[in-house]
Amino acid sequence: MKKIAVATLGCKVNQFESASFISSFREAGCELVPLSHRADIYVINTCAVTGRAGQQSRQLIRRVMKTNPDARLIVTGCYAQMDPQKILEISDNQLCIVGNGNKHLVVEAALTQNNCDLSMLMGNIGLKREITPMPVRRFSGRTRAFLRIQDGCNNFCSYCIVPYTRGRSRSLPMQEVFEQTAVFADEGYREIVITGINVGKYGIDLAEGKTIYSLLARLCTDFPDIRFRLSSIEPTEVNDTLLTLMTGFSNFMPHLHIPLQSGDDNTLKNMNRRYTTQFFAGVINNIYRAMPHAAIGCDILCGFPGEDDTAFENTFELIKKLPVTYLHVFPYSKRTGTLAASMKNQIQKSVKDERIHRLRALDREKRELFYQAHINSVQNVLVEQRSKKTGLLQGFSENYLPVQFEGTGNLQGKIVVLRIDRLKNGELFGSIENTS
């Protein structure tokens, strides 16, 4: 029996794809072991969205080489797609690099006795026109399942390497979306997170005439006992149709994560983002009017080339005045091959760090205001796990409130009705009212 260890960096799409690897390895009779264990085969699903992610990918490769120098090593994901030569230079193991467009071949490449054909397994991701088939049975240790319905991106934002590592937008046919959802339902999942690289573009490459909106409506209708959550969607794709769906279906969770990246119009233009700050503010206010209780998260890219103090202050003030719930703040990272990498006026690290510090303080302030507004409210919470810090059970409400409470372990994976009692040191605590 082969011992397999799988490591995953990066986005929810990568996590879905790694879950597919694990499902297939188990069907083949392999034993899955933690990355820290000595394995016969290591699979590393890499990320390249930032320079830090690429560094972590290289560190993982070196780590498993030390754990078992004789192991077979399969490297895939965006860093593998972006810089396979760098991986070849640092690895002495039996190495196989699999491109993003051929991830369905990872398990076969891992278990074969033959040497890898790198040219065949890498491929030209820009020529891929169909999404790779990657069925999943379970997500190990997770009470929420991720469902990848789309891959690739056509936007070509000037800072982003993803269109070059993931290719053009490709959608999973609707029938296959329903088949995968049915598998998750049979496995007992109570919540599914709909994910992709640019989920709002779902269906544009299919002849079915379907969109992300018609897909979500069908999912909510056909699987009424499952909570559906959208992982991330572009501001230009948040429209009245989506808000009507969210307010009309009780199993469509009131939670949206929307990338802003900058609150300065000139910076947005240089980023090749196709909206203005006025448009973005209108989107956020429309969501708030339709669902005042909804969680609204935003991505902010800090320190883009040419972002002067005025541009940063525009971003800070825009976020401060909008009813945003939380922020994900990232430093701009130069990615070779993107337009922004050759731009002048690159921002010093010390300036980025100071701006990130201020934005993360604003994030804490926003979260606490949102949390405070829900004290004494009753929430349906999906129980996930025990907190390592407090020993209490913890989970997320429909509107993405993280709540801790006292309860027995058999509640994991179930939906518990909680009353939120208090906010302490930035964390919410509640007590059970009912379970389902």
Domain termination site, one of 196, 224, 253: 253
Domain termination site, one of 339, 357, 373: 373
Query: What mean pLDDT do residues 222-232 have?
Result: 97
Q: Which amino acid is at 416?
A: V
Q: Could you identify the residue written with the tokens 């690099």?
A: 97
- The total domain count for the chain is 4
Dihedral of alpha carbons 342, 276, 311, 231, sign: negative
Q: What is the pLDDT of residue 22?
A: 96
**Do 203 and 133 lie in a common domain?**
yes
**Do 249 and 264 lie in a common domain?**
no
**Do 245 and 132 lie in a common domain?**
yes
Highest mean pLDDT among 78-92, 115-129, 372-386: 372-386
**Do 325 and 295 lie in a common domain?**
yes
**Do 131 and 197 lie in a common domain?**
yes
Percent of residues, the chain, with pLDDT higher than 90: 86
pLDDT in tens, 44-66: 999 999 888 999 999 999 998 88
Q: With 80 as the cut, is the pLDDT of residue 435 above it?
A: no
**Do 232 and 193 lie in a common domain?**
yes
CA gap 151, 195 in Å, rounded:
9
Q: What is the 3-state secondary structure (H, E, C) of the chain?
A: CCEEEEEECCCHHHHHHHHHHHHHHHHCCCEECCCCCCCCEEEEEECCCCHHHHHHHHHHHHHHHHHCCCCEEEEEEHHHHHCHHHHHHHCCCEEEECCHHHHHHHHHHHHCCCCCCHHHHHCCHHHCCCCCCCCCCCCCCCCEEEEECEECCCCCCCCCCHHHHHCCCEECCHHHHHHHHHHHHHCCCCEEEEECCCHHHCCCCCCCCCCHHHHHHHHHHHCCCCEEEECCCCHHHCCHHHHHHHHHCCCECCEEEEEEECCCHHHHHHHCCCCCHHHHHHHHHHHHHHCCCCEEEEEEEECCCCCCHHHHHHHHHHHHHCCCCEEEEEECCCCCCCHHHHCCCCCCHHHHHHHHHHHHHHHHHHHHHHHHCCCCCEEEEEEEEECCCCCCEEEEECCCCEEEECCCHHHCCCEEEEEEEEEECCEEEEEEEEEC
Q: What is the pLDDT of residue 117?
A: 67
Q: With 70 as the cut, is the pLDDT of residue 270 above it?
A: yes
Higher pLDDT, 410 or 92: 410
**Do 152 and 243 lie in a common domain?**
yes
CATH of the domain at 103: 3.40.50.12160
Which of the residue ranges 100-114, 155-169, 280-294, 320-334 would you say has the lowest mean pLDDT? 100-114
**Do 292 and 386 lie in a common domain?**
no
Report the predicted TM-score, pTM, of the whole model to 2 decimal places: 0.94
Dihedral of alpha carbons 21, 23, 28, 33, sign: positive
Residue range of the domain that includes 388 = 378-435
Q: What are phi and psi of 129, to 5 degrees?
A: -120, -5
Q: What is the pLDDT of residue 234?
A: 98
Burial 350-361 (b: 16+ CB within 10 A, else e): eebeebbeebee
Q: With 90 as the cut, is the pLDDT of residue 434 above it?
A: no
Domain termination site, one of 73, 95, 123: 123
**Do 197 and 267 lie in a common domain?**
no
Query: What mean pLDDT do residues 85-108 have?
Result: 88
**Do 133 and 249 lie in a common domain?**
yes
**Do 10 and 119 lie in a common domain?**
yes
Tell me if 122 sits within 8 A of 97, measured CB to CB.
Answer: yes
Q: What is the mean pLDDT of the chain?
A: 94
Instruction: Return the C-alpha torsion angle 259, 261, 267, 272, nearest 10.
Output: -50
Q: How confident is the model at residue 120 (pLDDT cuts 50, 70, 90)?
A: low
Q: With 80 as the cut, is the pLDDT of residue 113 above it?
A: no
CATH of the domain at 324: 3.30.750.200
**Do 241 and 289 lie in a common domain?**
no
